[in-house]
Structure 1
Amino acid sequence: MAKYIAQLIVAGSQVIGRAFARAVKEEIAASQDAAKRLGNNKTRAERLNNTKTGLSLEEAKQILNIDKLDVEEINKRYDHLFKVNDKGSGGSFYIQSKIVRAKERIDMEFNATKASEDPPKV
């Protein structure tokens, strides 16, 4: 009797183990497919810029609270937010660093568009 119970437990464990392994493989495949779909929507330059600063252009615009890329407005918002969040006046260094990173990300965008608009000099 104990022999049959042991065999039943071993067989059940094998079935559960195989099902679990199959589920893990399917989940990995689905995750890789999703990553491919999401990764293909961005250009190589966008992914490179996002990894340098850790921010996307949309996040940087949200941090500086701007809608369009206007140099004057960006500088005005940056100066104001940087001064307001100064550690000496009770602000947060973390928020101040986020503001700096946002400005850097937007500056990278300006430099990229400027470089693509300027014809190469011979």
Structure 2
Amino acid sequence: MSAPKIIVQIAIAGAQILGKAFLAAGRQALANAKHTPDSVIGGDVAGLRSATSGSITDKLTREHRMTLDEARLILNVKKDDPAERISQHYHHLFKANSPPAADAKAAKPKPGTRPHAQSIYSHYLQSKVVRARERIEAELKAASGPASEASQTTTTPPPPSSSSSAPPPENGKSS
């Protein structure tokens, strides 16, 4: 065999190998594009896909987009904890993730002292705490029975306002 003929055969074999590799990669990319994992947004959030039995608990899970176990984990309460303990944990976590008070920002450290660590707060965590409390309250309300739901027309009170908001105007006058 001559040298040019060998070079051409090597080039053809290399092109075949490269073509097969690109074809396999394309097929895999197409398969990956068609597959949607559960962790993607809109996937099985909080067990929603498995909550299909039509029970009240599954309905509440779909409504609040949070399972009862997840709500208990967020508020750090157990299944048999009383409502008072749940409320205590809720208020503590809500305040811990609230922005600092306006007067605390104005206070400056004295010369020669170290300033305190800056407060860290999270609106996201605060909203998760509120949603967890709402989910547990909805479960307790559903467990108390449908007859008592019809007689109770009160709504869940809003979360306590953070101390950084302005106080309401006095004597009904607005500024």
Q: Do structure 1's residue 102 and structure 2's residue 135 form an aligned pair?
A: no
Match of 1:51 among 49, 62, 74: 62
Instruction: Flag the structure with higher helix content.
Output: 1
Match of 1:78 among 70, 78, 90: 90
What's the RMSD between the two structures over aligned residues? 4.1
1:41 CA displacement: 7.2
d(CA) in 1 for partners of 2:131 and 2:51? 24
Encode CA deviations 1:32-85: one digit per residue, 9 max, x unaligned. xxx9xx966764222221121111000000000011242011000001110111
Match of 2:99 among 84, 87, 92: 87
Encode CA deviations 1:8-47: one digit per residue, 9 max, x unaligned. xxxxxxxx9xxx8xxx7xxx9xxxxxx9xx9667642222
Larger Rg: 2
Runs of 4+ in 1 over 3 A off after TM superposition: 38-43
> What SS does the corresponding residue of 1:88 show, helix, strand or coil?
coil
For 1:114, the equivalent position in structure 2 comes to 144
TM-score (norm 2): 0.43
d(CA) in 1 for partners of 2:144 and 2:61? 18
Counterpart of 1:79 in structure 2: which amino acid?
Answer: H
Aligned residues: 108
User: Looking at both structures, which has the greater relative contact order when contacts are Cα pairs under 8 Å and sequence separation is at least 6?
Assistant: 1
d(CA) in 2 for partners of 1:40 and 1:97? 25
Change (3 A) 1:80 1:114: same
1:115 CA displacement: 1.6
Counterpart of 1:47 in structure 2: which amino acid?
Answer: D
d(CA) in 1 for partners of 2:52 and 2:69? 13
d(CA) in 2 for partners of 1:107 and 1:98? 14
TM-score (norm 1): 0.60
Runs of 5+ unmatched residues, structure 1: 1-15, 29-34
